[in-house]
Amino acid sequence: MRSSRLHVLDTGPDPARPRLVKVVEAGELAARAGYSRPHTLHCGPDGVFLSCLGGADGADGEDGPGGVALLDHETFDVLRAWETERGPQRLAYDVWWHLRQNIAVTSEWGSPSMIEDGLVPELLLDRRYGHAVHFWDLETGRHLQRVDLGDENQMVLELRPSHDPEATWGFVNTVVDVEDLSASVWLWTREGAEFTVRKVITLPAEPARAEDLPPALRPFGAVPPLITDIDLSVDDRWLYVSAWGTGDLLQYDVRDPLRPSLTASVRLGGIAGRGTHPAEPDVPLSGGSQMVELSRDGRRVYVTNSLYAAWDEQFYPEGIDPWMVKLDADTSGGGLGVDGGFFPHGADFGGLRVHQTRLEGGDASSDSYCYRR
């Protein structure tokens, strides 16, 4: 993100020794698409979709607007900006779609200056971070509809559309409600030509002693859940919600997407609760449950603990010792158990923080659709 470079590595010959084959420089991304600060990649129709948080040089500088760059499937050359009619969209984060319905969806975090040096409290309290979801014509890149979730619901991040190609619903999370420090998950559905978005899960803040809180949270006397990631199983039955502030990983049965039912919860780290791992039960985990990835069969759940260095230091000022945890999921009636024999952490990552994992052969958030047999 900071360099605005994209690195392409060939993992085919030997995944343990990826080979760098191309670097897309910041200048190419800016000149051909008008963007900077690349974040999320998806292989889609007409090319590789690359969401970007920042714009290139211009009236607003690199602060915007952010959007989606389109890359060639084979050469990875930057082709152009995907959007043709942006409408009111300015802030960017994730991009996904409903392929059969020719609908794209995007979410909002913030511009580079709002993110790169950490959370800006004044902007948060002034409700300046993203709080809307956008719907687009996927083929043409034309903006269709903006749905505002309310400016109290700051930072609209991860989009998880149904994997069923005939469906037009999906989940998206917000990080924090500035009125009560809660976090939430929302469901979008299509009703005729229009989309509606409604809150279906709310996680309240947890009271905490001031001495257990980082300086930024002491005036509030509570730990905000800070939902930073969600993941939907390939069969569309299970939703996993990662609350980086409290450290909780929660499993919901979402066979009825309008009424998610909580089926399991495991605490891994957290600002005040400091859950542990069975491999080292006497050592509180640093950081908290953050990015979550799910195997295609739904049985293995992987969680990592670092969000972004500048933000890590605000919420976990004592430092983050990197870890990745595997949990075994009950895919019949629900349930989560931490695998005590899987715990890469600390020196296993060479002192570097770990953010996200992808699984060989695909995973729940890499596969955008599946057809019933």
Query: What is this structure's pTM?
Result: 0.96
Classify 170 as helix, strand or coil: strand
48 to each of 106, 112, 367, how far by Cα in Å? Answer: 15, 22, 14
Burial class (CB in 10 A: 0-12, 13-18, 19+), 169: middle
Residues in the chain where the model's pLDDT stays below 70? 57-61, 367-373
Maximum CA extent, the chain: 56
C-alpha 314: how far from chain center: 19
Q: What is the pLDDT of residue 97?
A: 95
CA angle 323, 325, 331 (to 5 degrees): 165
The span from the CA of 366 to the CA of 370, in Å, is 11
The span from the CA of 62 to the CA of 37, in Å, is 9
**147: which strand partners?**
133
Which residue, among 75, 12, 71, 86, has the nearest Cα to 41 in the 3D structure? 71
The span from the CA of 330 to the CA of 30, in Å, is 46
- Cis peptide leading into 65, omega within 30 of 0? yes
Residue at 3: amino acid letter: S
CATH fold for the domain made of 89-349: Methylamine Dehydrogenase; Chain H (2.130.10)
Question: What six digits make up the tokens of 207?
Answer: 């009271």
Q: What is the pLDDT of residue 44?
A: 87
Mind listing the pLDDT tens digit for each residue in 133-180?
999 999 999 999 999 999 999 999 999 999 999 999 999 999 999 999
Within 8 A by CB and 6+ apart from 63, the residues are 54, 55, 111, 112, 113
Q: What is the pLDDT of residue 63?
A: 87
Which residue, among 75, 88, 115, 93, has the nearest Cα to 35 in the 3D structure? 93
Q: What is the pLDDT of residue 369?
A: 56
Element (H, E) at 36: strand 35-44
The domain locations on the chain are 1-82, 89-349
Q: What is the pLDDT of residue 59?
A: 46
